[in-house]
């Protein structure tokens, strides 16, 4: 009986963790949008959020690593032109007031 009780507690904790993690992932895109057209990747902040220009932005496509110096920034956008084709990992950050969210997002560059 003890094992069943502990197993039930473990399942409840695991379910709560999964629910919280899923909610955090769903909210992440509420702060920004990512669009890709050709070799151009654009991150646009939403609502009261702005692009964190101090974050070490990076786009990695295979062996190619494009750092912050390759991005162009405005208050609400981070743009990278000339990205190589392939599946990429984009790392960046957005802020609102004193709250900042860093993100990693997979993007396909046609």
Q: Per-residue pLDDT tens for 31-67?
A: 999 999 989 999 999 999 999 999 999 999 999 999 9
Instruction: Looking at the structure, tell me whether residues 8 and 38 fall in a common domain.
Output: no
Residue 2's pLDDT band (boundaries 50, 70, 90)?
A: low
Q: Is the pTM of this model over 0.75?
A: no
Residue range 85-99: mean pLDDT, rounded: 97
Through-space distance between the first and last CA atoms of the chain, rounded to whole angstroms = 56
User: Domain check: are 41 and 55 in the same one?
Assistant: yes
Give CA–CA dist 36/42, Å, rounded: 6
Which domain range does residue 99 map to?
31-109
Number of domains forming the structure of the chain: 2
Q: What is the CATH number for 35? A: 2.60.40
Indicate whether 101 pLDDT > 70: yes
Q: Are residues 62 and 19 part of one domain?
A: no
Question: What pLDDT was estimated at residue 29?
Answer: 73
């Amino acid at each position: 009986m003890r094992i069943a009780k502990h197993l039930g507690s473990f399942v409840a904790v695991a379910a709560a963790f999964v629910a919280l993690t899923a909610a955090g992932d769903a909210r992440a895109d509420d702060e920004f949008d990512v669009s890709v057209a050709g070799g151009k990747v654009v991150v646009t902040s939403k609502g009261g959020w702005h692009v964190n220009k101090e974050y070490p932005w990076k786009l990695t496509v295979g062996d190619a690593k494009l750092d912050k110096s390759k991005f162009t920034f405005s208050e609400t956008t981070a743009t990278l032109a000339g990205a190589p084709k392939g599946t990429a990992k984009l790392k960046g950050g957005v802020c609102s007031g004193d709250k900042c969210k860093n993100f990693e997002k997979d993007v396909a560059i046609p």
